[in-house]
Amino acid sequence: MAYQPENTFATPMPGGKSEPMNHLSYKKGPGRDVGAGANDDRAWLLCRGVKSLLRCDEAEVISGIARYVVSQHAGLRLLSALIERSRRTLFPALIALVGGVKSFLAVRSLRPGDSSDGVVWIARLGNERRAIEPLVRSFPELGWTELKFHWRPEPMSLSALAGKLGAASRRLLRMARLLDRRYEFFKTLRVIELIAYYKRYLGVFQNSRFCLAVTSNHSNPHGIGFNLAARKCGVPVILITHGMPVRPIAKLSYDLAVVHCEAARQAYLEAGCRMDRVFAHGRRQDYAPMPAGSLPDRLAVGIFLCKEVNEERLRALVESLLSNPRVSSVLVRPHPTNLWTGLDAWIAARNDRRLRRASGGSVSCDLENSDVVLAGNSSVLVEAVTAGRPSGYVSDLDHGSPDLHAFVSSGLIYPIDDNLSFDPDAMLRFYQRPGWTDSLRFFANIDEDEESVAARVGAAMRELLRAPNQKYFERAPGARPYGTGSVSDLSIGQKAS
């Protein structure tokens, strides 16, 4: 299909409290009328998305990350102080609007000559890209187009924004001021960003013939906005996750999902997500049994961090390890989106040859070079024990709530006590106990490999591409309504309850 110029703000922006956030029905070219029967539900899509985002932002880890980001940058600390002093004035709403404009402009426009059919995908963060790119490489015949992010406004994006910003900005300002009276500023900002991403993606979908929309994000403004815009335009949505979900989970709808494990699948369905087909990432190629004997006398310990770091707790952990005669070295691997700006300076100042930062290679390589792994609320603990590395959960190493993913309470991961006592032999005995592998299977699909699961996912994507008449928001008569959670295929061999 030939590229068409975008008219991104054609649909009205949110109005008063009693109005739906999107008023116009959608008709998209010859043969793409998705039907009038779903218009009422579609009109409330964005409203539901905003409510889902606000619900997600109630999570302690989200507010903790927001505060942590501000603490790391002097400019943000100053801006935050100004916003707090000017609450219930126009200033916070104007800052939120600027954030929305930046989000709108961050999505690169489709250009003449770009493909505008087949599969469209987004990846704003590195871990999202790593989750989706293997499918892009495995099934190039599906015709993949990435909507890339960039931080320099393009003329085409500015043109689309300038032509429609007047009326929309007034509505956004009014909404931002209403939100500012009730919520912390970061929540107001993220709602405005969500609406901006939604409008941006809506313009893309309305002027293209994409048949599938693939994302790896379900909790941030860009991921939720992408999902809602695709569903508004009748495009099936596919979720390829890159880790365990954090509760509360946005109540979204997916035609196909590849989740971290059975525990993650249950979490999505309990949150009210609708997933028509669900697969679990294959881990058999990474699986290795725990050591049957004893651990070496001298141990290399790997510490794998979340994006937000409790610096004081990390320092105490490292000092405890380096004072232990069994520890030969400590490797610190930061999150791909590391938010602690002082990590490298701290390691350099410590000036100890036994302490080093990971070089930036693959997670599997750093796991291979570690005899024991320690982490906080990170999905890497699942990868570590899957690879046969005894691992320990360290509370307060990040700003998430204790045992965020229930790894400890489910019997999967050995807990390090509050005093940071390091007993590797007790840790190994924990993993050698009968029945532990059953706990592992709940968090890792070790019965299937990545290649076989990818083949089944590719076949399911082809089925969706061959079923254009099913591209509409409301399901056929007799199907479950939006948000009820249904599953027709589980790669781990279990049916949804």
User: Is CATH 3.40.50 what the domain over 36-283+451-470 is classified as, yes or no?
Assistant: yes
**pLDDT for 489 beyond 50:** no
Q: Give the best-scoring range by mean pLDDT among 30-44, 378-392, 475-489.
A: 378-392
Cβ atoms of 406 and 400 within 8 Å: the answer is no
- Tens digit of pLDDT for each residue in 247-281? 999 999 999 999 999 999 999 999 999 999 999 99
Q: Which of the listed CATH numbers 3.40.50.2000, 3.90.1170.40, 1.10.1660.10, 3.20.20.60 matches domain 288-443? A: 3.40.50.2000
CA 144 – CA 294 distance, rounded (Å): 48
Of 146 and 169, which is predicted with more confidence? 146
Confidence band, pLDDT 50/70/90 cuts, at residue 162: low
b/e map of 121-142 (b: 16 or more CB within 10 Å)? bbbbbebbbbbbbebbeebeeb
CB atoms under 10 Å from CB of 442, counted, come to 17
Cβ atoms of 12 and 22 within 8 Å: the answer is yes
**pLDDT for 377 beyond 90:** yes
Shared fold status for 36-283+451-470 and 288-443:
yes
- Tens digit of pLDDT for each residue in 405-422? 999 999 999 999 999 999
In the prediction, which pLDDT does 191 show? 97
In the prediction, which pLDDT does 4 show? 42
Of 161 and 403, which is predicted with more confidence? 403
In the prediction, which pLDDT does 163 show? 53
**Nearest Cα residue to 54 out of 161, 184, 233:** 184
Instruction: Please state which of the ranges 110-114, 157-161, 373-377, 397-401 shows the lowest mean pLDDT.
Output: 157-161
**pLDDT for 485 beyond 60:** no
| Extents of the domains making up the chain | 36-283+451-470, 288-443
Confidence band, pLDDT 50/70/90 cuts, at residue 18: very low
In the prediction, which pLDDT does 495 show? 33
**pLDDT for 17 beyond 50:** no
In the prediction, which pLDDT does 187 show? 97
In the prediction, which pLDDT does 168 show? 78
**pLDDT for 473 beyond 70:** no
Percentage of the residues of the chain whose pLDDT score is greater than 90: 75
**pLDDT for 478 beyond 80:** no
* Distance from chain centroid for Cα 462: 24
Burial class (CB in 10 A: 0-12, 13-18, 19+), 184: middle
- Tens digit of pLDDT for each residue in 426-447? 999 999 999 999 999 999 999 9
In the prediction, which pLDDT does 157 show? 73
Average pLDDT, the chain: 86
Backbone angles phi, psi at 361, to 5 degrees: -75, -165
Query: How many residues are recorded in the chain?
Result: 497
